[in-house]
Structure 1
Amino acid sequence: MTETSSHALAQRMAELARTVASPRRVEDVLSDVTREVMGLIPGVDAAGVLFVGAQGRFESVAGTSELPHRLDELQMKYRQGPCLEAALDSLIVRTDDFRTEQRWPLYSAAAAELGVLSGLSFKLYTSARTAGALNLFALKPNAFDADAETIGAVFAAHAAAAIMASRENEQLQSALSTRDRIGQAKGIIMERYDVDDVTAFEMLRRLSQDSNTKLVEVAAKVIETRGT
């Protein structure tokens, strides 16, 4: 890796570190990741992220163009491809020419028909229930080398940290919102029926059980009755 590329990598990593320190929406983080990697690794014509969730559910996000989404749709259709392999198994998956690639024959032929000849995918360390990959594509063969693999692997690791930080923040905000709604519902019940907070919560819990409805949904319905 040249001194110039090393300096550029260090600068981008510093920028991404600031992203981790200030959690934002996952969608915004992923868009930053794919945009930054386009400028960081020479030869990239498109980039995107593929998530594979429970029961094999696919989610194609943060594409720099429509091309990554079309390629992910092909992998969903054929249940094979470099992005899927990187997400579930390998750390780095590189393809120098899809026209001669034999590992995923159906996908490779379809990708080549779209004009995509090279690919480079990196596993994203996301969560126990979701696998993910950062995916780069090029319209020419042999577009990626060892330097691209090194830069991309470091970038993917930092990107995964940013993704996890964003998701943890979203989960925290959701938990706080849930707590607030239950608190509001308890207050309404306490005032309406002249009971203490323990009894109010028990009433919510019993309503949740009897109706087989989540506690937060019962709380929301109680809040809707306020003023009636």
Structure 2
Amino acid sequence: MPDDWDQDTPADVDVSPLGREFAQLTARLLDADSVAEALDHVVRATFAVQPDAAVVSVTLRAADGHLHTPADTDPVAVELDRLQERYGHGPCLEAAKEKTAYKHSGNLAEEPAWPLFGPDAAALGFGSVLSTSLLPDAIPPRLSGALNIYARQPGKFSDDTARDRALLLATHASLALAHTEAVRLAELREAQMRHAIDSRDVIGQAKGILMQRRGINADEAFDQLRRISQDLNVKLAQLAQTLATRHTEIDLPEA
């Protein structure tokens, strides 16, 4: 793990190593600026608290069913997702679309639930997998997904401790996804509000120009702008912007 990974928890706080990892993860998620950064923190924390983990990834499932791997500790995770998408079965694919908390196999080479994916995953060097659901009931455009942990040896992740840790990590990841999406939505709404205010300002400028040029009042100026925009099939704000920025060069036709 990076040298600065434990700097988010004060040294004098008496917590267990596992508690420290989750405290650090929470602090980092609160500071994350993007979905990708948040998921990267979750993946690295998972690698730290699951001692048998060889590869960790997050898979997101789009509304069209396609899988994406925005965060991983090894490029082989992308290949594992690609195999599941090809065969139509596999742990992360099923965890991402079902309400069950997790999908597990301690013997991928002979896993009856995934007769095609299992042997291929074993051929890539993996004996066990634990995939935990992320937002399984997500409504588009939000994506459902899974937190995936692969071990080289068979027989791993079958105990309650491994599954409880995975569930806690998946909960953090789900909250991070919801939080970053909320931030993006808030930013979008703020941008839309600024655009609306700017549009009102530029319309006011255009109205003032027409009032001065044509000796009309504010209501008459707005009515002329509206009617000219309809005649020219140009948005009102765009028409006003053109007049306000090029008023010394052009004049509008009579409505």
Q: 1:106 to 1:28 in 2, by over 3 A?
A: same
Structure number with the higher helix fraction is: 1
Answering whether residue 156 of structure 2 is matched by residue 143 of structure 1, we say yes
Aligned residues: 211
Answering whether residue 54 of structure 2 is matched by residue 35 of structure 1, we say no
How many angstroms apart in 1 are the aligned matches of 2:124 and 2:93? Answer: 18
Cα drift, residue 219 of structure 1: 6.5
Q: Percent of pairs identical after alignment?
A: 25
How many angstroms apart in 2 are the aligned matches of 1:221 and 1:54? Answer: 39
The question of whether the paired residues in 2 share the 8 Å contact of 1:118 and 1:142 is answered with yes
User: TM-score, normalization: structure 2?
Assistant: 0.72
- SS at structure 2 position matched to 1:135: strand
How many angstroms apart in 2 are the aligned matches of 1:179 and 1:99? Answer: 55
Cα drift, residue 20 of structure 1: 4.7
Runs of 4+ in 1 over 6 A off after TM superposition: 218-226
The question of whether the paired residues in 2 share the 8 Å contact of 1:88 and 1:131 is answered with yes
Task: Report Cα offsets for 1:168-223 as digits up to 9, x if no partner.
Answer: 11111121112212322332222123468xx69x96xx98xx78xxx9xx978986
Q: 1:108 to 1:191 in 2, by over 3 A?
A: same
Q: 1:15 to 1:110 in 2, by over 3 A?
A: same
What letter matches 2:145 in structure 1? G
Match of 1:106 among 113, 116, 136: 116
- SS at structure 2 position matched to 1:122: strand
Cα drift, residue 69 of structure 1: 1.0
Match of 1:11 among 20, 24, 30: 20
Who is 2:215 aligned against? none
User: TM-score, normalization: structure 1?
Assistant: 0.80
- SS at structure 1 position matched to 2:121: helix
Task: Report Cα offsets for 1:62-82 as digits up to 9, x if no partner.
Answer: 011101111111112222110
Cα drift, residue 47 of structure 1: 0.9
Match of 1:94 among 104, 110, 120: 104
Answering whether residue 129 of structure 2 is matched by residue 115 of structure 1, we say no
What letter matches 1:121 in structure 2? S
Structure 1: gaps (5+ residues): 1-5
Equivalences for residues 1-228 of structure 1 within 5 A:
7-22=16-31, 24-89=33-98, 90-125=100-135, 127-129=138-140, 130-146=143-159, 147-194=161-208, 227-228=245-246
RMSD of Structure 2 on Structure 1 (CA): 3.0
Cα drift, residue 128 of structure 1: 2.9
